[in-house]
Amino acid sequence: MQKLLISVVALIALVAGVVIYNTLPKPQPQALVYEPARALAPFTLESSLGSDVTNDDLKGQWTLLFTGYTFCPDICPTTMADLRQALPELTKQADEPVRVWMISVDPQRDTVKRVTDYASFFGEEFVGVRAEHKELYPFVNGLGLMYSIPEEGETDYLVNHSAAIVLVNPDGERQAIFKAEHVMGEVPTVNMKTMVTDFAIIASGYN
C-alpha cells in the first residue's frame, strides 16, 4: 500500500511539473521574427560559387544575409569576422547547415572575383554575391535593407548600407532580422551573443 501511495505521489508530482513547465513563459527572441515567414521574390545573382544563385540555393540550409562591399572600412570586415567566430556555435543549434551570404552593394567596383576573394577569406561557409543595380536593388529592398548609390562618375566613395543581418530559413523564406546595435562612437554591428541566443530559439521552433 505504501509503495502504491509513493507511486501515486510521484506521478502527481511529475504531472504537476509538466503543467507548471508548460505554463511558464517561453523565452522570446529579441530579433524581429516574421510569423509566418515571408517568401522572397524570384532572383538571379552572380556568386562566388562559380555560377549564378537563385531562390533554390537558399533551400536546405539556414542563411544569414548581410549587405556589404569589399572596400568597406569598418562595418563589413567587423561583421564578417564576428560571423566567422559565431558560426560554430550557430551550427550547433541547427540540424541544417548554416551559411553566410555577403551581398555586395557596390556593383561598380565589386566584380565576381573581388567578392569571391573577399568571402573565401572568411571560410568555405561564406558566399560572395553581386549584381548590377537593376537586379540588386529590388533584391536588397525585398529583404528590408537599403544601400546608397554613388553619384555618376565617382570612383572613391563610401556606400551607406544596412548593418542588420537577415535570417532565411531552410525553405528559402525570410524568417527574421537581427538589427545592429548603435552605440555612440562605435561601429554599428549586430550583437553576436544575442544573435546566437535568438537563433537557437528560432531554429528550435522551426517546423
Q: Report residue 120 as a C-alpha cell.
A: 573565401
Q: 156-161: list long-range contacts, CB under 8 Å, 24+ apart.
A: 158/72, 158/73, 159/69, 159/71, 159/72, 159/105, 159/106, 161/67, 161/68, 161/69, 161/75, 161/105
H-helix or E-strand spanning residue 115: helix 112-122
Q: Is 182 annotated as a binding residue?
A: no
Q: In what order do the strands lie in the sheet with 165-168?
A: 32-39, 173-178, 165-168, 62-68, 98-104, 126-130, 44-47, 53-54
Q: Phi and psi of 97, rounded to 5°?
A: -60, 155
Q: Is 161 annotated as a binding residue?
A: yes
Q: Is 72 annotated as a binding residue?
A: yes
Query: What sign does the dihedral 56-61-67-72 (CA atoms) show?
Result: negative
Buried b (16+ CB within 10 A) or exposed e, 151-186: eeeeeeeebebbbbbbbbbbebbbbbbbbbeeeeee
In the annotated binding site, the residues are 72, 76, 161
In the annotated binding site for Cu cation, the residues are 72, 76, 161
